[in-house]
Amino acid sequence: MKEVKLFYLRECPFCKKALRYIEQAKAKHSELADIEIEMIEESEQAALADKYDYYYVPTFYIAGEKVHEGGIFPDEVEQILRQALE
């Protein structure tokens, strides 16, 4: 399983949706349930966030590669989680 990082902001409406979509995907697809995601709240971990190249949240990285940035839909979250399984 590949390392997954999620950069987000606590009050961001798109981030709140992404977090909800993650929970839904894991509940619906048991094979995704064990995927661990390192959650990085941008404003609380600014020094770490500054080391990554992105402008919008939520932003997902898998194995150090940016795979999604900005607004997101449920099917995109599921696809990201499945990429982590490969």
List of domains in the chain: 4-85 (3.40.30.10)
Residue 34 sits at the vertex; the CA angle it makes with 31 and 35, to the nearest 5 degrees, is 95
pLDDT of residue 17: 97
Question: What's at 61, amino acid-wise?
Answer: Y
Question: What's at 5, amino acid-wise?
Answer: K
Confidence of residue 86 (pLDDT cuts 50, 70, 90): confident
Give pLDDT tens digits for 16-70. Answer: 999 999 999 999 999 999 999 999 999 999 999 999 999 999 999 999 999 999 9
Q: Which helix (H) or strand (E) holds 68?
A: strand 65-69
Distance CA 86, CA 44 (A): 31
Does this model's pTM top 0.75? My answer is: yes
Q: Report residue 25 as tokens.
A: 């995907």
Mean pLDDT in residue range 13-18? 97
pLDDT of residue 10: 95
Distance CA 4, CA 26 (A): 14
Question: What's at 69, amino acid-wise?
Answer: E
